[in-house]
Amino acid sequence: MIWPALAKVQWEKLPELFSSRRLWAHLAVSFFLNWIVAPFIMLALAWATLPDLERERKGVLLVGVARCIAMVLIWNSISKGNADYCAILVVFNSLLQAVLFSPYAVLFCNILGSSPHSAVASPQLQLNYEQVARAVGIVSFSDKSTDCVLMLVNSILGFH
């Protein structure tokens, strides 16, 4: 689903875009909104709407820390936006997702999302940092290895 959108990106022009101060400002805003504001809004909504349902609250929190990066490409393509600029935002947020999802999932689910009334949180709702990090790493490695294979095939066959 995201390959057609990424195929439109002119990757050789990306270094030129990084010289723009405007791009760096947009990356800063993207980081602030996606990784600082949004998870805490979801935390507030989860506690406001599910104060007595710890399992469901933690599910909402996991959704709150997971960025839906692929849809950015799709909506950008539908709206005929700048594919190169969008690719930079997607790569930036993908890297942050790979690095920040595990600690955020543990922080928001095990600490901020746990009920203060229970002395011990339910064991089936506890997230293990190593397991979450390993799962994110496997997905990231699979994605990157697929990209490398496709670029190699593309270069061998001479597609642009």
Q: What is the pTM of this model?
A: 0.66
Q: What is the pLDDT of residues 77-86, one digit of tens each?
A: 889 888 878 8
How far is C-alpha 139 from the chain's CA centre? Answer: 12
| CB neighbours of residue 44 within 10 Å | 11
Domain around 127: 3-157
Residue with tokens 């699979």: 142
User: How many Å from the N-terminal Cα to the C-terminal Cα in the chain?
Assistant: 19
Number of domains in the chain: 1
Instruction: State pLDDT tens for residues 45-84.
Output: 999 999 888 888 888 898 888 877 777 878 888 898 888 7
- DSSP secondary structure string for all residues of 71-128: HHHHHHHHTT--HHHHHHHHHHHHHHHHHHHHHHHIIIIIIISS-TT-SS--GGGPPP
